[in-house]
Amino acid sequence: MPERVYNFSPGPATLPYEVLQQAAKDIVNFQDSGIGLIEISHRSKQFMAVIEEAEQLLRELMDIPANYKVLFLQGGASSQFFMIPMNLLGDGKKATYLNTGVWSKKAIKEANQFGQIEIAYSSEEAKFNRVPAPGEYVVADDSEYLYFVSNNTIYGTQFPEMPKSEKMLIADMSSDILSRKLDVSKFGLIFAGAQKNLGPAGVTLVIIREDLLERTPKNVPTMLSYKTHADNGSMFNTPPTFSIYIVAQVLKWLKAQGGVDGMEKINREKAEMLYNAIDSTDYYRGHAEPGSRSMMNVSFNLPTADLEKKFIAEAAAVGLDGLKGHRSIGGCRASIYNAFPREGVVKLVEFMKEFQAKNP
């Protein structure tokens, strides 16, 4: 694939090449129907088979218990920031949030409009360079749920183990879903925007425990109630057909990589290579504390902002694209999601060594 570069973008992010190739064909003529993938009715036999396959593969790969619904929604992961409290805290109940970055802050802001929100932990003063260890926060007794962001895309921090609580867990897994083993039964709700580990932008995955569907207050608009989408198999209105099709293809690809276990092994190996390169010199400095390091987003700094600029530009010139850090913390960030090839990480590590030698 000579025309492609290594794309370290944080999202939308790199997708498996074979998925893109298949999609390019299907867009013009889907399964010899004479109709393109993005032209077929969402109620056609062909599309119904796609959405069913996406759900079945997810259930299989994530081992989702039967009493959970799988929903394909729109409005981005950001809409879940208000849908969750709107549906689950509607009458002013309490919930506990862990503040580990911009995405949890945004979720807290929305939740405050619906319930009583307790922030049990915040790493904001340390520029969100860590996530809490198990004993570092207390979940209020009368909380409905404990909300957290499993992987903090911007800072490159990730909960090494999922938080444990007697209360149900709710997690934003937008940037690490399907990257490692997970016990879904500990969660009330899991959500993820697709554009990192699942597919293109435009669809948001929600996995919700069935009994929670009955909690929605009466005044919640129809489109914003989880029950509406659960009762209609994510077909209450026109779903994002193209995005869901890609999700199904990505899941097939993931299964062929050895499923979540296989993926986790590859992810650990890729992240380790990069962190070893960072730790082997004082030239590169990781943003995240070692115990909170993400396998998906590796944020790091160089000695000066000028060197960082040069690093990002010269890397792009040799086919290592998208290494600029988020504007809120600056520096560099390598996003190495499931579909990011191992060879790209090898190439980046080589480039880091060369760059340091040339720019001491």
Name every residue whose Cβ is closer than 8 Å to that of residue 69 and which is 6 or more positions away in sequence. 207, 208, 210, 213, 226, 230
Query: What does the DSSP 8-state code read for residue 138?
Result: -
Residue 74 corresponds to which amino acid? Answer: Q
The answer on whether 237 is annotated among ligand-binding residues is yes
Residue ranges in 125-164 that form contacts with ligand PMP under rule CB under 6 A: 149, 153
Q: Determine phi and psi for 227, rounding to 5 degrees.
A: -60, -40
Q: Which helix (H) or strand (E) holds 256?
A: helix 241-256
Instruction: Select the residue interacting with ligand PMP from 143, 174, 216, 338 (CB under 6 A).
Output: 174
Candidate segments 45-53, 73-81, 252-260, 329-337, binder of ligand PMP by CB under 6 A:
73-81
Residues marked as catalytic: 103, 172, 196
The answer on whether 228 is annotated among ligand-binding residues is no
Q: b or e along 111-133 (b: 16 or more beta carbons within 10 Å of the residue's beta carbon)?
A: beebbbbbebbbbeeeebbbbbe
Residue ranges in 76-115 that form contacts with ligand PMP under rule CB under 6 A: 76-78, 103
Instruction: Select the residue interacting with ligand PMP from 11, 115, 163, 322 (CB under 6 A).
Output: 11
Are 178 and 61 a contacting pair, CB within 8 Å? Answer: yes
Are 184 and 64 a contacting pair, CB within 8 Å? Answer: yes
Residue ranges in 246-275 that form contacts with ligand PMP under rule CB under 6 A: none
Q: Could you tell me the smallest distance in angstroms from the CB atom of residue 198 to ligand PMP?
A: 11
Contact pattern from residue 23 through residue 62 relative to ligand PMP, giving x for each residue in contact according to CB under 6 A and a dash for the rest? ----------------------------------------
C-alpha separations of 349 from 13, 58, 89, 274, 301 in Å: 20, 33, 47, 6, 14
- Residue 100: CA atoms inside 13 Å, Cβ hemisphere, count? 31
Residue ranges in 176-215 that form contacts with ligand PMP under rule CB under 6 A: 193
The answer on whether 74 is annotated among ligand-binding residues is no
Candidate segments 14-22, 172-180, 222-230, 245-253, binder of ligand PMP by CB under 6 A:
172-180
**Contact positions vs ligand PMP (CB under 6 A):** 11, 76-78, 103, 149, 153, 172, 174-175, 193
Residues of the binding site for pyridoxal 5'-phosphate: 77-78, 103, 153, 172, 195, 237-238
